[in-house]
Structure 1
Amino acid sequence: MSQFDIMYTELVRRIEREGVYTNGQKVRPKYITDGAPAHTKAIFFHTMTFYPHEVPVLTIKNNFPVTANNERHWIWNEKSNKVDDLRRLNGTEKTVWNEWELWDGTIGLAYGHQLGKKVMDLNGKNVDQVDYVLHELRHNPTSRRILTELWNIDDLSSMSLTPCVHHTQWDTYDGTLNLLVKARSSDVGLGLPFNVYQYSVLHRMIARHADLPLGKMHFVIGNAHIYDRHLETLREVIANEPLPAPNLYIEPTIKDFYDFTNKDVRLINYKHQGNYEFEVAE
């Protein structure tokens, strides 16, 4: 069975058991459908460790891996903040980012924009954060300074949505490529399954680029929350029987990170327990 299903179920149960409601407090998010305050039940600090033998994707509900992978490609490979670029990858006008699209067609100075800014010094030359990671893992893999950061305080006011998953650190202390991912905030019903799968794919692609064995991925969450309108549905989800984990196919002839297209990644034998609807809050 899928190990992520087990970890996900344990997290939902922990929030049910230990979580604190924001009911009665002033909250920023509102449900898109009716503008009502989007209250949550939350815990602070949770961590999950994923081992390289299995790709972490939920089977107790549809993880929507194609859509999740397209978003990863949009942010990390294309380093784009233009919503039309994501629509092109998805092949549809509908994207999870439509609600945050600004008048200029972007999501502001967020996500892909931050990765694509040339801000890192590399032998006297400014490069972007992704190029820096790729270079250092090939040429200086024992460095403890191989990381990315999307939480740019200078640009936060120009982002339509400040980043939830904001930090990565890449480390080869044991001869394998280990990845630490940090999220300041995680919507357990909608965002978390997407993000875990996205970064597990990214981890494998960059290990391939750097010609390093795949190590562990540690996913660390600050505020792990369930929206009040998601709770009942998530109870149904975690009551489902986990199914065998699928296999991840990444086109084996491609080594260079920038040669990958969004079509070069897919799950094989992915079976799940069905689709579940969750209201979006913004």
Structure 2
Amino acid sequence: MSKADKIFVEMCQDIIDNGFSSEGQKVRPVWEDGTPAHTIKKFGVVNRYDLSEEFPALTLRRTAFKSAIDEILWIWQKKSNRVADLNSKIWDSWTDENGTIGKAYGYQLGIKHKYKEGEFDQVDRVLYDLKNNPYSRRIMTNIYTFEDLHEMELYPCAYSMTFNVTGNKLNGILNQRSQDILAANNWNVVQYSVLLHMFAQVSNLEVGELVHVIADAHIYDRHIPLVKELISRKQYEAPKFIINKNIKNFYDFTVDDFKLENYEYGPQIKGIPVAI
């Protein structure tokens, strides 16, 4: 069975059984009807995925593979904050009057900074170091820029990546300040797994581990019954991940360069309420 399913089930069960409830506390998010959106949470959840063994797409339900990749390319490759550059509607609730999400996500990755070797934005600096100094312990990105937070429609949730080469394997640590487990957990896992595959391929490295660190891993109160049903489902074998091996330039990848073969999964959960 899929190891990603096992990790997800154990995490969700731990949150449900041992999590802390925000009932009685003042919370920011609300449901569409104005009711406070409370959660149960665990602090400091750490999940490890060995991408050399399998691709961690959840089989309990389908993860929207192409849409997840489209967003990660929007952020890391296009370095865009324009919602029109994205094919899905997932950012519509946080779009400003200019059609952007403000100085968030891709905008931050595209800002150039000065180094001894010249000027690079954060993505190009990672690419440079992986090719020229792969054993550096300083290969990282961070988009939680305090001076620009007031101009972001949403503070970054997944805010930093640390890259580390061990032998010939590229590993990564994704740091996330907060995560809606039902809506976003496997979405982010799939995205950053694909990103590690991309960076590894164009840097002549093999893919290694993705370590996902979540400071506040929470399940919303109205999601608890949905999560309980989800983690009781049948689990399938992990799908096979296919990447176009002909791509040698990070900026040449498109959504069509990635496929999942033999992806079996349970029925989708429709109408998941979203707290804003």
**Secondary structure, in 3 states, of the residue corresponding to 2:125?**
helix
The reply on whether 1:210 has 2:203 as its aligned counterpart is yes
- Superposed, which structure 2 residues align to 1:15-30 within 5 Å? 15-30=15-30
1:35-68 residue CA offsets vs partner (Å, 9 max, x unmatched)? 2211100010111111121011100011111111
1:50-99 residue CA offsets vs partner (Å, 9 max, x unmatched)? 11210111000111111111111111111111000003xx4xxxx11100
* Distance in structure 2 (CA, Å) of the matches to 1:269 and 1:120: 45
1:165-187 residue CA offsets vs partner (Å, 9 max, x unmatched)? 11101111333111111111111
- Superposed, which structure 2 residues align to 1:1-282 within 5 Å? 1-31=1-31, 33-51=32-50, 52-87=52-87, 90=88, 95-123=89-117, 125-277=118-270, 278-282=272-276
* Distance in structure 1 (CA, Å) of the matches to 2:44 and 2:114: 30
Percent identity at matched positions? 40
**Secondary structure, in 3 states, of the residue corresponding to 2:182?**
coil
Seen in structure 2, the aligned counterparts of structure 1 residues 267 and 43 have a Cα distance that, compared at 3 Å, is same
* Distance in structure 1 (CA, Å) of the matches to 2:164 and 2:124: 16
* Distance in structure 2 (CA, Å) of the matches to 1:155 and 1:267: 37
Q: Which amino acid aligns with 2:4?
A: F
Note the residue ranges of structure 2 that are not aligned, 5 or more in a row: none
Deviation at 1:24, TM superposition (A): 1.3
The runs of 4+ residues in structure 1 deviating greater than 4 Å are none
Aligned length: 274
Asked if the contact 1:116–1:130 (Cα under 8 Å) also holds between the matched residues in 2, the reply is yes
Q: TM-score, normalised by structure 2?
A: 0.97
Question: Root-mean-square deviation (CA), in Å?
Answer: 1.1
Q: TM-score, normalised by structure 1?
A: 0.95
Asked if the contact 1:122–1:132 (Cα under 8 Å) also holds between the matched residues in 2, the reply is no
Asked if the contact 1:120–1:129 (Cα under 8 Å) also holds between the matched residues in 2, the reply is no
Note the residue ranges of structure 1 that are not aligned, 5 or more in a row: none
* Distance in structure 2 (CA, Å) of the matches to 1:204 and 1:105: 31
